Amino acid sequence: MWLHFFWRTVMKGLYIHIPFCVKKCEYCDFLSFSGCENYFDEYISALLREMEKHQGTEFDTVFIGGGTPSVLSYKQIERVCDGIKHSFKLSPNLEWTMEINPGTITEEKIQAMKDGGVNRVSVGVQSFNDNELEAVGRIHRSKSAYDTVTVLHNAGFSNISIDLMESLPYQTDDSFKHSLEVAMSLPISHISVYSLIIEDGTPIKEKYDNGIYALPDEDSDRDLYKYTGEYLKQNGFSRYEISNYAKAGFESKHNLKYWNCDEYIGIGLGAHSYIDGVRSYNTSVLGEYISGVTTVDENILTKNDKMGEFMMLGLRKTEGVDKNEFYRRFDVYPDGIWKSQLDKFIALKLMKEENGAYSLTQRGIDISNLIMCEFL
C-alpha cells in the first residue's frame, strides 16, 4: 500500500505570545498581566530578538495570541507584524490569525493588522449576555462584541472566529442559546465553545467555593453540548474538534497543528515550541524575558510519549486518528500498542473505527478525558 509511505509535507506553525490585557478576567489563569503598558515596547524588542534566532524558518500559519494582542497600539502591532515578515519565510497560503478582544480595537489597529498580513481574526466574545460578561469581569458588553465583529467584516476580514463560553455564572440554557443565535447572525466562519473551568487561585474560584455561584450539573452540560453541535450544524458549522466548529474550509490550520502533533515555534513569554521531538519552554518571568532570557526548559519526548500524545490529541478531532499516519510516524499501528483499550472502547460504543481512523463517538466525547488518559 503506497499510502503507508505517503509523506505528508507539513510546514511549521508560528505562535507569538502577547501577555498583556486591559484587566484580568475573574476566571483567567493564562500568562497575562494588566497594567504593564510601560513594558510593551521593551517586550516587543525582546520578541524581535527572539524572532532573529529563528531567522529564515518557513511557516504556513502564524498565530498572535495572548493575553490580548489588540491592547498594543497600532504602531506596536506594525512592529510585531514587520518583525515577523522580516524574520521568516511565509508561505503564499499563509493563515495568519490575531486574537482580539472587543473594547480594544480601533480603525488604525484594524488597518495595521490588514497591512501587516493578518487574514484571520479570533474575537474573544464569550457571551452575548451582559450579566454573564460582567460576572466574569470581561471589559466589554454584548453590543461591543457584536459591533466589533461587524466592523472587522466591513473592513474586509472574511475569516472571523469567535469564542463563546458555556457554564458561565447566571447562564441559563436559554441565555446560552441566545448567545449562539446572535453568533449565527454575524458574518463569522468559525466558532469555539469552551466550558468555563474553575482554576485554583482565580478570583472566581472563591465565589464558587463560597456558594455565590453554582456550576451546572453534568447532564444539562451534556445536553447543551449536544444542542450546540446540532444547532451549529443546521447553520452550516461542522464540529471538527471537541470544542471547535467551522464552515467548510475554515477550520483553524494553526490549531490543527497542535492536534496533529506537527511542529511549531512559540515566541514570547512562556511560549512553548515543538521541534524534532523536543518540547521547549520559554521563561514565564517578564523581567527575565525582556532582559533576553528565552528558553529555560526542554523535554525530549520518547517514542512512547509521542505515540500517546498523537493518540490523545488526535482523538480530539472529529476525524480522529488516521491509522496509516500513525504507522508512518511510529512504524506500528495503534492496535499494535493499545489493542485491549481499543477493543473495549469500541465494544462500549465510546469509540469507532471508520474510514481507516479511530475516533470518539458522541458518548465517548462525554467522557473524553477518561478515554484519552488510557492512551498516555
C-alpha span between 43 and 38 (Å, rounded): 9
Query: Residue 196 or residue 311: which is nearer to ligand SF4 going by CB?
Result: 196
Q: Which of 47, 60, 63, 68 binds ligand SF4 (CB under 6 A)?
A: 68
In the complex, least distance from residue 349 CB atom to ligand SF4, rounded to whole angstroms: 36
In the complex, least distance from residue 2 CB atom to ligand SF4, rounded to whole angstroms: 46
Region of 65-73, 224-232, 270-278, 286-294 interacting with ligand SF4 (CB under 6 A): 65-73
Helix (H, G, I), strand (E, B), or coil: what is residue 228? helix
With CA atoms as reference, report the closest residue to 272 among 258, 291, 260: 258
Binding mask 301-340 for ligand SF4 (x = CB under 6 A): ----------------------------------------
Q: Which of 61, 70, 87, 101 binds ligand SF4 (CB under 6 A)?
A: 101
Q: Which of 11, 14, 16, 28 binds ligand SF4 (CB under 6 A)?
A: 28
C-alpha span between 139 and 136 (Å, rounded): 9
C-alpha span between 145 and 132 (Å, rounded): 13
Query: Residue 25 or residue 311: which is nearer to ligand SF4 going by CB?
Result: 25
Query: Residue 85 or residue 272: which is nearer to ligand SF4 going by CB?
Result: 272
The DSSP code sequence of 46-65 is HHHHHHHHTTT-EEEEEEEE
In the complex, least distance from residue 65 CB atom to ligand SF4, rounded to whole angstroms: 9
- C-alpha cell at position 283: 521563561
In the complex, least distance from residue 37 CB atom to ligand SF4, rounded to whole angstroms: 14
Q: 243-248: long-range contacts at Cβ-Cβ below 8 A with a sequence spacing of 24 or more?
A: 243/192, 243/193, 243/194, 244/190, 244/191, 244/192, 245/190, 245/191, 245/192, 245/193, 246/189, 246/190, 246/191, 247/189, 247/190
Region of 47-55, 61-69, 200-208, 263-271 interacting with ligand SF4 (CB under 6 A): 61-69
Q: Which of 11, 25, 125, 180 binds ligand SF4 (CB under 6 A)?
A: 25
Task: Give all strands (DSSP E) within the chain, no chain letters.
Answer: 12-18, 20-21, 33-34, 58-66, 89-100, 120-126, 160-166, 190-195, 238-241, 244-246, 264-267, 272-275, 278-282, 295-300, 321-322, 351-354, 357-360
Query: Residue 87 or residue 148: which is nearer to ligand SF4 going by CB?
Result: 148
- For the chain, percent helix, then strand, then coil, each to nearest 5? 40, 25, 35
Measured N-to-C along each axis, helices 40-53 and 74-87 cross at an angle, to the nearest 10 degrees, of 10
Binding mask 119-158 for ligand SF4 (x = CB under 6 A): -----x----------------------------------
Query: Residue 101 or residue 273: which is nearer to ligand SF4 going by CB?
Result: 101
Residues 248-307 contacting ligand SF4, CB under 6 A? none
Q: Which of 12, 15, 32, 261 binds ligand SF4 (CB under 6 A)?
A: 32
C-alpha span between 337 and 331 (Å, rounded): 11
C-alpha span between 156 and 111 (Å, rounded): 10
Query: Residue 67 or residue 266: which is nearer to ligand SF4 going by CB?
Result: 67
Q: Which of 43, 63, 67, 127 binds ligand SF4 (CB under 6 A)?
A: 67
Taking CB under 6 A as the rule, does residue 30 contact ligand SF4? Answer: yes
Taking CB under 6 A as the rule, does residue 104 contact ligand SF4? Answer: no
Taking CB under 6 A as the rule, does residue 21 contact ligand SF4? Answer: yes
Residues 166-205 contacting ligand SF4, CB under 6 A? none
Region of 26-34, 156-164, 340-348, 362-370 interacting with ligand SF4 (CB under 6 A): 26-34
- Number of residues written out for the chain: 376
What is each CA distance from 370 to 226, 312, 315, 355, 376, in whole angstroms? 19, 11, 12, 24, 11
- C-alpha cell at position 348: 462500549
In the complex, least distance from residue 334 CB atom to ligand SF4, rounded to whole angstroms: 36
- C-alpha cell at position 105: 480595537
Pairing mode, if any, of strands 190-195 and 160-166? parallel
Q: Which residues bind ligand SF4 (CB under 6 A)?
A: 21, 24-25, 28, 30, 32, 66-68, 101, 124
